Structure 1
Amino acid sequence: MDNQAFELHGESFPPGKEGPKKEAKKSNRSLMKIFLACLLACGITTVLGVLTLALVSNDASKRDPDGGNVGMSPSPSHGRRLDVKFQFLNHLKKSKVYTYPGGQIQWARFRKELLDYGSEEEVEFGRSLNIHRSQMTFGTLRIKSKGLRAPHWHFNANEHGYLQQGSAWVGVMGADDNVVTTYNVTAGQVVFFPRNTIHWLKNVGEEDCVFLLFFSTHEELQTLDMDDVFFWTPEDVAARALKPPGGVNFIRTFQKQAEDQAINLPPNLEDLVQNATYGQSPDHLVWRYFYNLKGSAEDPFPGGSFQWARYRRDATSLNGNEKIFSESLHKHENTLTLATLRIRSNSLGQPHFHFNAHEMGYVLSGCGQVGVVLSGTSINFNIDIGDVIFFPVGSQHYIKSVCEEELLLLLAYSTGNQLETLRMSSYFQGTADHILAQLFFKAQAEIKMFSRTSQP
C-alpha cells in the first residue's frame, strides 16, 4: 500500500532510513506553523469582534427609544464639554437656512439624522426637546412678496403661528371638503392649523412675510406637500380621481420642478395667474383658525404684561369670536397656548414653574437674562433677538430685561388646557414661617421680613 507520508520530491524511502525522519521533522514544523497561524488569526478575530461589539453598543446607547441619534454630535468635540445652557438655548440666527424659490425656513427642533443639524449646540437643544418629551418644535418661515407656502399638512402636529411681519392670505381645509376657510392676517395676529388640515400661506404684500411657527411635537415633524403627493401618485390614479379633459394625457403635461417648491414663486408667475382673488370667510369659520393677539386684552403684572391666545375655562372676559377660538383649541388634542410677554427695561418676570406645560420662547426685541433650575442643574445665561429658549415642565425659571428697551418674547406652552403656574412669591408666602425658619436656619422673626403682599 502506498504511504504518502513517506514521499518527498517524488522519491520513496524505505522504513528506517533518514528520509522519513527528516520529513517528520519538517511535518512537525509545518504543523506548528499552522497552529501558530491559526492561534494568531483567532486572536485577531477576537479583538476585532470585541471592538465591533463595543462600537455597536456605544452607538446603541446613544440612540433614543424611537431610533434618533440624539446623544451623538455631528462632529468630534475633542473632549470639549458643551455648556449646559444649550439644553435650554438655541441661537436660531446661526442655524442652517433652508432656501426655496419663494423664501426660507430655519428650525430649532429635534432631528433623527445628525447631518440635518448645523452644530453640536443644535444637537444638544434638539436632544433636550426630545428627551423631555416637550411637545415642541419651532421654526421661522420667510415668504417673499407673492410667494406661496405650498398647500400641505402635518401628520403628527398641530401648528400655531404668529405673523411677525407682512400680510398674508391663508387657506384651511378640514375634514369636510365642502368647507374651505380663507382669511387675511396681518402682523401681530395668530393662525392655528389642526393636525392633518390642509393649509397654505400666500404673501399678498410688498414686503417679506415672517411667520414664527410652533408645532406640537418633539419628534421629527412629518409633512406632506400637495405637489409632492400629486407627482407620487400614479398617472392613471390621478386622472381617475381628478377627471380632467384628456385624462392621463393631461396629467402627463405636468412636470415636477427640479427644485423643491415648498415655498413657491415661479419666475413667470404673471403669465400663469391672471385673476387672483383673496376671499374672506365668515367670522364663525375664520375664528376657528385665527386670533387677533395684537388686539386682545393685556394681562398686566409688576414690570410688564402678557397677551394670550389660549383656552379659558372661564370665558366671561372673551368676546364671541374669541370664544370660538378658545373652544377650537380645546376641541383638538395636543394644542398649544401662545402669548406675547413684555418686560419693561430692567424689570423682572419673577421665578415660577408650570405644572402642566413645557415652555418655549422666541426673542422678538430687546435683550435679557434667563435662569433655569431643575433637578441637578442650575444655569443662568443671556438672551438676544432671534434666540429660542426652552423650559421643561416643572423647572423653575425667570426672565429679566437688561436693556434700555423693553424685552418682548413670543411664548408657547405645551397645553390646550388652562395653564397652571406657581410663582416663587406664592410658594414662599404659602409656607409656614416656622417651616422656613427650620429649613433655612433663620430666626422666625427674620423669616417674617419676606413680603406677604400678593404678587402675580
Structure 2
Amino acid sequence: MPTDNTPLAKRETDGPDPLRGPSDLLGFSPTNVLIDEDTTAIDFELAPGQTEDANLGLFLDFENIDNPQPIRGTRGGTDPGPRNTELDKMNSDKLAPPGTDHGQTINAQWPMGLSHTKAGIDSAGWSRQENTKVMPDATLMAGVDMRLEPGAYRELHWHVAAEWALVLNGSVRVQAVDEDGRTFVDDLTKGDVWFFPAGIPHSLQGLDGGTEFLLIFDDGSFSEDNTFLATEVFAHNPKAVLSKNFDVPTSALDDIPEGELFIFPGTPAPKDIELQNVTGSAGVLSGSQSYSYHFSEQEPLELPGGSVKIIDPITFPIASNFSAALVTVKPGAMREVHWHPSSDEWTFFLAGKARATLFTPPKEATTFDYMPGDVAYFPRSNSHYIENVGQEDLVFLEMLQANHFSDMALSQWLALTPAQIVTDTLNLSNETVSKFSKEKQIIVQGTNSTESPTAA
C-alpha cells in the first residue's frame, strides 16, 4: 500500500491497489452484475395476536417464536437480517410496536445488565450503575446496584448527592455520623430502606449471607467513581498534615492504602450491634431523624390486581425529597394510566415481565418492554402505565423527587369531569364514561391474554 503523498490518480497508474477496487466500478455499467436472491424466502411464524389490528396493541410474546418479525396487523414486513434475534424476543414492542406508537420519545429503558461492572477486591462484591452516561434524559436521579459478600465493606465514604437505598437481598449494617457528631448504626434486611443526606459520611457492611441493595441518588449525573473515599482523603493529603491533624507521628501512617479500596473483605461485624454503637458528647441519632426505616415490616395495601405500599417524608422525614411506592401487580393487571405532576419517575424492576407506553406531547409515544434489573424513566407529567405481561407477579419500585408521593390517574380525572364534556371531547357514550372510576385504582385488574377483547 502506498505510504507517500503521491496523488491517488497518479498512484493508480502504478498498478492495481489490492485494498481497493478499480474505478470502473463507479456508477452504472451494462456489465454490472445483480445477485439473483429472493429476500422473501424466510421461515417464520407469527405470535398470537400479531395479525390483530395494530392499534389494538396486544402484547406479543416472542419468547418461543423462532424467528420473530417486525409485523403488526397490516404494518411492517419481514427482516432477512442481520439482526440480534434474542434481543428482538425480549423487546417485542420495539420490533413490532403497537400502531399507537408514534415518533420518538426519550429512551426510557436501561438494563443494568448492560452496565459496566466495577469489581471489588478479593471477590468482596461489585456494583453497576445507571446515570446520564447511558440514559441522557434521566437527569433527576441515578441508580446503583451493589453487592457485598458476607463481611465485606463498602468503604467509609460520602457523596455530594443524597443517597436513598432499598435492600434487595440479605442483610447489611449501616453506620453514619451527622454534622453535630451524632452517631447512627442499624441492621437492615431485605425490603428495608436507608437514607443519607449529601455529605454525611457512612459505611456499609454485609452481614451473614451477604447483601445486595439498590441505591438511588438525587442527581442523574451521579457516578460511583466521584465518591469521596476515606482512603483517597488520606492518600491525597500530605502525611505531615495528617500527622498534625491527628496528633500522631508520621510513621503511624506508613501503611495507609495508596488508593481506593471501594469494596473489600473485612472482619465480620459483631453479632451484638451495641458493640459498634460508638457515641460522643452529642449522643445518637434517633426518632424522626433516623437514617433507616424498616419498610419490610410495613403491611401493603391489598388491591384486586395486586398491592402497593408507600414510603415518603410523611413517615420517613429525614429523606425530605424522596418518595417511593413499592408496587406488586398480578399477571394480566396493570398500574393504571397516570402521571406525576411534581417529579420525574425513576423506576426499577425487581421481578416479573412488564411493558409501558410513554406518551410525550404533542404526539410522541413509545412502548418499552422491561425485565428484572431494568431501569425505567418517565419525565414529569408524561403519561404512562405499567402492565404485567408475564405469568408471575410483577414487582417494581417507583421513585420520585418529591416531599410526598402523588400522581394523577387518567380514569379519576375523567370521572370527576362533567360527563358531557368528556363525551363531547372523546366521542364516547354516557354508558362508557359512567364506568370510569372516581377513585384512584392504582392497579387495574385484568387478564393476561393476547386474544382480542370481545365487543362486549
1:214 corresponds to which letter in structure 2?
A: I
Of the three residues 100, 108, 126, the one matched with 1:88 is: 108
2:149: which partner in 1? 144
**Offset of 1:352 from its aligned partner?**
0.5
1:237: which partner in 2? 241
Of the three residues 395, 413, 418, the one matched with 2:400 is: 413
**Offset of 1:336 from its aligned partner?**
1.2
* Contact 2:172/2:210 (8 A) holds in 1: no
2:166: which partner in 1? 162
1:182-261 residue pairs with structure 2 within 5 A? 182-205=185-208, 207-221=209-223, 222-244=226-248, 247-256=249-258, 260-261=260-261
**Offset of 1:170 from its aligned partner?**
0.9
**Offset of 1:301 from its aligned partner?**
3.6
Distance 1:104 1:86, change over 3 A: farther
Higher relative contact order (CA 8 A, sep 6+): 2
* Contact 2:189/2:296 (8 A) holds in 1: no
Of the three residues 153, 158, 167, the one matched with 2:158 is: 153
1:328: which partner in 2? 318
What secondary structure sits across from 1:451 in the alignment?
Answer: coil
* Contact 1:85/1:380 (8 A) holds in 2: no
What secondary structure sits across from 2:296 in the alignment?
Answer: coil
Of the three residues 310, 316, 331, the one matched with 1:345 is: 331
2:206 corresponds to which letter in structure 1?
A: N
Of the three residues 116, 126, 138, the one matched with 1:104 is: 126
**Offset of 1:429 from its aligned partner?**
0.8
Distance 1:262 1:277, change over 3 A: farther
1:303: which partner in 2? 305
Gaps of 5+ in 1: 1-82, 112-121, 313-322
What is the rounded CA distance, in whole Å, between the counterparts of 2:440 and 2:218 in structure 1? 31
**Offset of 1:380 from its aligned partner?**
1.3
What's the Cα RMSD here?
2.5
**Offset of 1:184 from its aligned partner?**
0.8
Distance 1:234 1:180, change over 3 A: same
Is the deviation greater in 296-305 or in 383-392? 296-305
What secondary structure sits across from 1:128 in the alignment?
Answer: coil
What is the rounded CA distance, in whole Å, between the counterparts of 2:132 and 2:378 in structure 1? 15
2:3: which partner in 1? none
1:380-395 residue pairs with structure 2 within 5 A? 380-395=367-382
2:386 corresponds to which letter in structure 1?
A: I
Distance 1:406 1:253, change over 3 A: closer
What secondary structure sits across from 2:381 in the alignment?
Answer: coil
**Offset of 1:386 from its aligned partner?**
1.0
What is the rounded CA distance, in whole Å, between the counterparts of 2:344 and 2:264 in structure 1? 34
How many pairs are equivalent?
328
* Contact 2:324/2:405 (8 A) holds in 1: no
TM-score, normalised by the number of residues in structure 2: 0.67
Distance 1:235 1:88, change over 3 A: same
Moved over 6 A (4+): 273-277
1:340 corresponds to which letter in structure 2?
A: L
1:367: which partner in 2? 353
What secondary structure sits across from 1:297 in the alignment?
Answer: coil
What is the rounded CA distance, in whole Å, between the counterparts of 1:421 and 1:191 in structure 2? 24
* Contact 2:340/2:408 (8 A) holds in 1: yes
Is the deviation greater in 383-392 or in 301-310? 301-310
**Offset of 1:284 from its aligned partner?**
2.4
**Is the aligned partner of 1:425 residue 2:411?**
yes
What is the rounded CA distance, in whole Å, between the counterparts of 1:283 and 1:230 in structure 2? 27
| Higher normalized helix content (fraction of residues) | 1
What is the rounded CA distance, in whole Å, between the counterparts of 1:289 and 1:274 in structure 2? 19
What secondary structure sits across from 1:438 in the alignment?
Answer: helix
Gaps of 5+ in 2: 1-93, 95-103, 278-283, 442-456
Distance 1:274 1:359, change over 3 A: closer
**Offset of 1:349 from its aligned partner?**
1.0
**Offset of 1:295 from its aligned partner?**
0.8
Question: In the TM superposition, what whole-angstrom CA distance separates every residue of 1:279-333 from its partner, at most 9, and x where no partner exists?
Answer: 3757825961111111113234441221122122xxxxxxxxxx5xx33233xxx
Question: In the TM superposition, what whole-angstrom CA distance separates every residue of 1:239-288 from its partner, at most 9, and x where no partner exists?
Answer: 011112xx11222343425xx411122xxx56xx8989643757825961
1:54: which partner in 2? none
1:451: which partner in 2? 436
1:386 corresponds to which letter in structure 2?
A: G
1:263: which partner in 2? 263
What is the rounded CA distance, in whole Å, between the counterparts of 1:167 and 1:407 in structure 2? 23
2:319 corresponds to which letter in structure 1?
A: L
Distance 1:441 1:165, change over 3 A: closer
Distance 1:450 1:387, change over 3 A: same
**Offset of 1:450 from its aligned partner?**
3.7
Question: In the TM superposition, what whole-angstrom CA distance separates every residue of 1:328-359 from its partner, at most 9, and x where no partner exists?
Answer: 233xxxx3112311111111111011111111
**Offset of 1:203 from its aligned partner?**
0.9
* Contact 2:414/2:436 (8 A) holds in 1: no
What is the rounded CA distance, in whole Å, between the counterparts of 1:183 and 1:291 in structure 2? 10
2:264 corresponds to which letter in structure 1?
A: N
